[in-house]
Structure 1
């Protein structure tokens, strides 16, 4: 077996992992949108900052309600400026309630507001009072202090969310590997024994890199609707996953069930290898695929046409490496002499 064959087998496996890791990313987005995980994570973070009574008032504030398309649902993102404005409004309301009137922290004196008895009755109120004292009761500096407090807590909340998503990703990866019967061992054997399959999968990988030069990231929108996530999932499955399933006979037909019955341990190990691989994420595999495709282009023997024209760019070379092959100022190898003139 030549080095080129080994690279093509690697490309096939890497491409499978890339596509199914993208599928896992889309499934995560769908689950997140359906269960509102970001909004729930944000709510828990704010609950840690404020007491339960104040949190209820916070989420009932018109500024917070306006952040969600459905005013009955919690938003998944709140800016530091909005947080500070709402907290300052709630503080002014507490003082106004004590005086049986109305007021605003921008109109009232901050020192007068935190002098209300309620600011000595709970830990969060005492903390807000201490913030006011630290800035010498300057409302603008107090707002900046609140924003910094919020950003500090959100940094920790982001860590909570990432750890939660990692656990979800691992579980979803295991489910996907088993549900689609993506057996890494069987895929390796198929690639090792079938040269046509290797050629086809390398061509698909090359086309994929050409069509997606910026990477394979999932949807990063903070408040994506689950209908949009579902549509993206269905579209990606039909466009990318289904052809690969057919090429490698993934799934649970009679042939696959017979194999699993005869080799249960091998099938289980193949699923586990796949699950671990796709849990690493699409960006990881996209980067690896780019590098291996570049290595293959460097090792692939040149055709007679390519030997006669040193500026010819191999057709399966990823776009990200073309600039390093063609020196600056060199005419495009694909332009004919007639068109150049």
Structure 2
């Protein structure tokens, strides 16, 4: 066998694995987008840091973070899969600055009603959710109001009245609403005590009556400590050693952003490891569904010059069209590849063109003889196929059930294809590009020398 033939077989095989990898990549991206895996991973990370589901909901409802959401309405709203570190720190600091306000406490406590509402019956749940969103919107506006203390207290009173109204309409929420209002009252009282102590200490030490932004953040951390001591401890550790002054706020912001960046980097590593596992599962699934058997493909490339020459030419054309790196394929290109594989009779797929069969499963062969369509052929009068109605779908590219050696080879070929497909399209394209360059840069082995 000539060196040219070996190169053509190798290039064609790499090209086939590349096509499988592209299919796996598209399927994985579709699954990831459909399940919002990156967004959920980021949300889990933020929830773990904030140590409080209600506070996490308050964070995601902050106007800065909401601007990153996608979707046109409540049903299609999707949380962001990426949050810039600066937006994270600004939203967190804004929440901390307002953490001591009763409206902020009320907003967080209202979030705890979500699981209770989720347990309501379908129709009642829809009505309760609509009213719940209105109350939550009012609480969010109250947190960000600058209309003065009197207007703020009036807004808080109205929100409490709306909650009580919600409980009257939906008796199943009565106990949860009462507990929410009780927690708000207790937390507000505890926070007032904490903030009064901080203010008294500031007066004793001769500090400014108007706290700086960093001091307001520290007060917010202390206020959150009444209900979330774990977050208080984490933030105090993060801000340890920061000296009060003009640079304090910037240094605190840098520390939060660096922490967030490092956390996202760890998450990216975790996501990649899980993506590799998913790629393997998808790769094996694609190989099995398509019956993409590496051993059968190598055998076909060895025996059929037309298949290997055509696939090799396709591979070289793909490399020439993507000199700067593999670009996403269009639907037309994918359709052309599929047509190419089917036209060349590449050994892919489990069933062939169906043949007419009678009610007993008898199929007329080319030589006019009849064979019985069965999935368990035992003799020469049996035809390996699957009967559905009056059609027999021949089983192709597969060993008979009573051929253990063939079954083992088939499993090995499918496993090899699945593992290859899981390596990723960039990996195989890089190898294909190098191989094609070696093939095209050297002299044609089929040409006579001298």
Aligned-partner Cα distance in 1 for 2:251–2:284 = 50
Aligned-partner Cα distance in 2 for 1:295–1:56 = 56
Aligned-partner Cα distance in 2 for 1:59–1:204 = 49
Aligned-partner Cα distance in 1 for 2:425–2:284 = 15
Give the C-alpha shift of residue 129 in structure 1: 3.1
Aligned-partner Cα distance in 1 for 2:332–2:275 = 23
Choose the corresponding residue for 2:423, options 244, 255, 280. Answer: 280
1:66-77 equivalent positions in 2, closer than 5 A: 66-70=67-71, 72-77=77-82
Match of 1:44 in 2: 44
- Alpha-carbon deviations, 1:204-258, whole Å to 9, x = none? 111111112222266xxxxxxxxxxxxx785553133442244214112238724
Give the C-alpha shift of residue 63 in structure 1: 1.1
TM-score of the superposed pair, with normalisation by structure 2:
0.59
Decide which moves more: 114-123 or 28-37: 114-123
Decide which moves more: 124-133 or 154-163: 124-133
Choose the corresponding residue for 2:101, options 96, 101, 116. Answer: 96
The answer as to whether partners of 2:93 and 2:217 remain within 8 angstroms in 1 is: no
TM-score of the superposed pair, with normalisation by structure 1:
0.77
Structure 1 residue 253 and structure 2 residue 391: aligned? no
Match of 1:330 in 2: none
The answer as to whether partners of 1:23 and 1:237 remain within 8 angstroms in 2 is: no
Aligned-partner Cα distance in 2 for 1:45–1:241 = 41
Match of 1:28 in 2: 28
1:99-248 equivalent positions in 2, closer than 5 A: 108-115=212-219, 117-121=222-226, 122-137=229-244, 138-216=248-326, 235=332, 237-247=334-344, 248=346
Secondary structure (helix, strand or coil) at the match of 2:395 reads helix
Secondary structure (helix, strand or coil) at the match of 1:94 reads coil
Alignment CA distance shift 1:24-1:103 (3 Å): closer
Alignment CA distance shift 1:112-1:203 (3 Å): closer
Identify, as 1 or 2, the structure richer in strand: 2
Which segments of 5 or more consecutive residues in structure 1 lack a partner in the other structure? 219-231, 308-341
The answer as to whether partners of 2:297 and 2:347 remain within 8 angstroms in 1 is: no
Aligned-partner Cα distance in 1 for 2:273–2:322 = 28
The answer as to whether partners of 1:92 and 1:103 remain within 8 angstroms in 2 is: no
* Higher relative contact order (CA closer than 8 Å, sequence separation 6+): 1
Decide which moves more: 147-156 or 248-257: 248-257
Alignment CA distance shift 1:205-1:40 (3 Å): same
Larger Rg: 2
1:247-326 equivalent positions in 2, closer than 5 A: 247=344, 248-254=346-352, 257-262=395-400, 263-297=406-440, 298-301=442-445
Alignment CA distance shift 1:131-1:53 (3 Å): same
The answer as to whether partners of 2:350 and 2:396 remain within 8 angstroms in 1 is: no
